[in-house]
């Protein structure tokens, strides 16, 4: 039961973080196709998390095979690491407020120094989302959902 409640909390946190990142990057989506790709991947992860939010805990609670439960515990840890990475990216994003007018955006485009356009950050976001989706998929497969 502890695994189920921990996973439910983690899924809820991950949904909140995905939503925050989507909200932030949405204002930049017309600027770069890489950001559009990141938004699609975030939306896919968030939708998957929302779909399994209630049923995953029940499946774990019903599971009698301790090997499967232990495996899901490991995957839970991996999802938690991913969620914390996404949360760190969100905190950094919140420090860089979206720009409101063309003049401000023009300055940013010239400098290319504002956070959302750092290639490494977008790549980290994409990789973290992929890893979380893979771990979630594996967990669901183990539980035969």
Residues with Cβ within 8 Å of residue 91, at least 6 apart in sequence: none
Confidence of residue 131 (pLDDT cuts 50, 70, 90): confident
More confident residue, 145 or 129: 129
Task: Give the torsion sign (CA, 120, 121, 126, 130).
Answer: positive
* Furthest-apart CA atoms within the chain: distance in Å: 61
In this model, does residue 15 exceed pLDDT 60?
A: yes
Residues with Cβ within 8 Å of residue 73, at least 6 apart in sequence: 3
* Rounded Cα distance, 42 and 53, in Å: 16
In this model, does residue 3 exceed pLDDT 70?
A: no
The position carrying tokens 């975030």 is 42
42-51 pLDDT, tens per residue?
998 888 888 7
Which structure tokens are listed for 8? 């439910």
54-64 pLDDT, tens per residue?
676 666 667 67
65-101 pLDDT, tens per residue?
778 777 777 777 888 888 999 998 888 877 766 666 6
Residues with Cβ within 8 Å of residue 78, at least 6 apart in sequence: 131, 132, 135
* Rounded Cα distance, 124 and 118, in Å: 10
pTM beyond 0.75: no
Average predicted confidence (pLDDT) for the chain? 78
* Rounded Cα distance, 29 and 118, in Å: 14
């Amino acid at each position: 039961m502890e695994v189920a409640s921990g996973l439910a909390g983690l899924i809820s946190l991950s949904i909140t973080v995905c939503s925050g990142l989507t909200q932030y990057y949405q204002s930049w989506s017309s600027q770069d196709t890489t950001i559009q790709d990141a938004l699609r991947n975030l939306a896919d992860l968030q939708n998957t998390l929302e779909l399994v939010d209630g049923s995953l805990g029940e499946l774990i609670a019903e599971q009698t095979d301790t090997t499967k439960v232990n495996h899901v515990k490991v995957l839970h840890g991996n999802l938690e690491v991913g969620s914390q990475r996404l949360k760190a990216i969100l905190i950094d994003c919140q420090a860089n407020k979206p720009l409101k007018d063309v003049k401000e955006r023009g300055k940013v485009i010239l400098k290319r120094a504002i956070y959302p356009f750092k290639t490494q950050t977008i790549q980290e976001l994409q990789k973290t989302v992929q890893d979380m989706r893979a771990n979630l998929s594996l967990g669901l497969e183990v539980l035969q959902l």
